[in-house]
Structure 1
Amino acid sequence: MKLTTRIFGEVEIEDSKIISFPNGIIGFPDLKKFTLMHDESDDNGATNTIKWLQSIEEPGFAMPVMDPLVVCPDYSPEIDRTKIEDVGDLSDDDILVLVTVTVPHDLTKMTVNLMGPFVINVKEMKGTQAIVENDNYPVKFPIYDILKKNKEANS
């Protein structure tokens, strides 16, 4: 399937790479099909920190996401199982957890939302966005300094 995106231009998306969100995502309940993309020009052999959750139905819509463990190594959200049962049976090998990244003009104010992670069953390619039950994770967790330290440590 060909898709003309705002960020990546025209891209070819394999059907096997489409993630179905049966209930949509928070704020966008009508968007139910997404794919994960990253900027290959930034690929320096390492896994890209920030990826994009690209809508299939609305090619102009993509949100930056990342693995929360990169910035919060002890991230262990409590999520009501009934809220994520529509993604199928989850095992540690089949689960991908991502959080949204907010990138303002002032990059030093960059944050991630640890309160509303995306939970994706990579085996069945189904996802949902959940709200964390434990309240020790903020909606705006600052990450600029953490990413800077990680980059310096990997240089």
Structure 2
Amino acid sequence: MKIATKFLGEVEIVEHDILTFEHGLLGLEEEREFVLLPIDADLPLALLQSVQHVEIGFVVAYPFAFKKDYSFDISEEDREQLQIDKQEDVLPYAIVTMKETFQESTINLLAPVILNINKKRGKQIVLQDSKAYPLRYPMLPLEGSAK
């Protein structure tokens, strides 16, 4: 099936790749179906695009590419909602706030998007632990990385 996207134009997707967000995203609770689309194979970025609405799409980043020691726990309730059976099924992303230049852009480490890639389920969670990750973390590449 074809869908229109915010940043990539019209793309072909497979229905099996649709991710279900039972509670939507923060501020978009009614938006329940998204697809994760690669942006550039050389960058740890993707597009989390609504299947229904072209204007609802977010650039997301693999957070460990920008903060090596990033870590958090997933609550038992969230594990149940996401139907997580094994750690290997979990894929975390952080929503990017794009600025004029990539170096000025930030990622939201406070409210990661957690995907169960096996069960095609997703949820955005707000971290409650004492580490207090920022809402706007600079997207500077790690030392030694190619980008």
TM-score (norm 2): 0.89
* CA-CA distance at 1:86 after TM superposition: 1.1
Match of 2:10, SS state, is: strand
Match of 1:82, SS state, is: helix
**In 2, distance between residues paired with 1:124 and 1:75?**
24
Would the aligned equivalents of 1:52 and 1:65 in 2 still touch at CA under 8 Å?
Answer: yes
2:89 alignment counterpart = 94
Match of 1:96, SS state, is: strand
Would the aligned equivalents of 1:100 and 1:112 in 2 still touch at CA under 8 Å?
Answer: yes
Would the aligned equivalents of 1:68 and 1:99 in 2 still touch at CA under 8 Å?
Answer: yes
2:28 alignment counterpart = 28
Q: Using a 3 Å threshold, how does the CA distance of structure 1 residues 90 and 72 change in structure 2: closer, same or farther?
A: farther
Structure 1: gaps (5+ residues): none
Matched, 1:49 2:44: yes
1:15 alignment counterpart = 15
Which runs of 4 or more aligned residues in structure 1 lie more than 4 Å from their structure 2 counterparts after TM superposition? none
Match of 1:69, SS state, is: helix
Number of residue pairs matched by the alignment:
146
Taking only aligned residues, the RMSD between alpha carbons, in angstroms, comes to 1.9
Structure 1 or 2: more helix by fraction: 1
Would the aligned equivalents of 1:101 and 1:110 in 2 still touch at CA under 8 Å?
Answer: yes
Structure 2: gaps (5+ residues): none
Mean Cα deviation higher: 134-143 or 17-26: 134-143
Match of 1:119, SS state, is: strand
Q: Using a 3 Å threshold, how does the CA distance of structure 1 residues 104 and 148 change in structure 2: closer, same or farther?
A: farther
Mean Cα deviation higher: 68-77 or 103-112: 103-112
Aligned ranges 1:123-138 → 2 under 5 Å: 123-136=118-131, 137-138=133-134
2:4 alignment counterpart = 4
Match of 2:80, SS state, is: helix
Would the aligned equivalents of 2:89 and 2:117 in 1 still touch at CA under 8 Å?
Answer: yes
Match of 2:95, SS state, is: strand
* CA-CA distance at 1:67 after TM superposition: 1.0
Give aligned-pair identity as a percent.
Answer: 27
1:69 alignment counterpart = 64
**In 2, distance between residues paired with 1:133 and 1:4?**
35
